[in-house]
């Protein structure tokens, strides 16, 4: 699976949009971009995923660049409960051991009042 | 609907004792995964089930670890003769099927402390 690079930490004011970047310059055409987060002492929580097109759900929006080498997770109105470590991962569509999730160091997002 | 549930949420045991950790996946999910996460570390894959069979047990750290799944639903991870290095958060996840397009949803985890 392609490697991802994320900033180690970010701060965001409550109520503002949080924009979390991820670089995945070696991504292959059949690899999805996934985002999970992990709030302290809880299990990882799925947020969103995409292949080529931008995606939006009730939690967030995922913007993938046209060349797919980077993406941005957007939390439109961050709350204190969004403080967590956010993980960007890429997963091959099928074959090999694609079922094994591995998280990098992620970005610690701190939402401040 | 209900998410993945795990029990117990916390377990403290003495070195050498056996422990059983339970995972109840999302209804209808045929794939089930066990991971563990040590303090400040990333995810470590242990085993996955497709239905009741476990095609990949390669992540189990030693023969003290075993897992089973019955009826295509609930799974139990058993650790025999626990050691202090087994202390970690044990996470269970499930998905509709196996594959990158099949999102894995995690439970809250079982925090195991071996004294």
For chain A, which residues score pLDDT lower than 70? 1-2, 93-97
Does residue B100 carry a pLDDT above 70? no
Shortest Cα distance, chain B CAs vs residue A93, angstroms: 5
B84: DSSP letter? G
Query: How do A107-112 and A9-13 pair as beta strands?
Result: parallel
Residues 40-69 of A with CB under 8 A from B: 42-46, 49
Shortest Cα distance, chain B CAs vs residue A38, angstroms: 10
Choose the weakest-confidence range: A1-5, A11-15, B89-93, B99-103: B99-103
Distance in angstroms (rounded) separating the CA atoms of residues B26 and B107: 9
Nearest to A102 among B42, B98, B109 (CB): B42
What is the predicted pLDDT for the residue at A95?
65
SS3 B99: coil
**Tens digit of each residue's pLDDT (9 = 90 or more) over B49-69:** 988 998 888 899 999 999 999
Q: How confident is the model at residue B101 (pLDDT cuts 50, 70, 90)?
A: low
């Amino acid at each position: 699976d392609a490697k991802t690079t994320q900033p180690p930490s970010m701060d965001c004011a409550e109520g503002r949009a949080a924009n979390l970047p991820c670089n995945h310059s070696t991504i292959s055409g059949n690899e999805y971009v996934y985002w999970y987060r992990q709030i302290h002492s809880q299990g990882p929580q799925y947020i969103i995923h995409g292949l080529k097109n931008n995606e939006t759900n009730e939690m967030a929006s995922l913007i993938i660049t046209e060349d797919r080498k980077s993406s941005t997770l957007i939390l439109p109105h961050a709350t204190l409960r969004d403080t967590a470590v956010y993980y960007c991962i890429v997963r091959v569509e099928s074959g090999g051991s694609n079922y094994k999730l591995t998280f990098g160091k992620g970005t610690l997002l701190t939402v401040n009042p | 609907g209900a998410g993945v549930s795990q029990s117990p949420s916390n377990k403290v045991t003495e070195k050498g004792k056996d422990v059983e950790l339970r995972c109840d996946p999302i209804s209808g999910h045929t794939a089930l995964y066990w991971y563990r996460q040590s303090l400040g570390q990333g995810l470590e894959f242990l085993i996955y089930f497709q239905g009741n069979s476990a095609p990949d047990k390669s992540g189990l750290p030693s023969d003290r670890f075993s897992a089973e799944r019955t009826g295509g639903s609930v799974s139990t991870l058993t650790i025999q003769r626990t050691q202090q290095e087994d202390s970690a958060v044990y996470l269970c996840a499930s998905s509709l099927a196996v594959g990158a397009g099949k999102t894995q949803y995690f439970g809250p985890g079982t925090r195991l402390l071996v004294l």
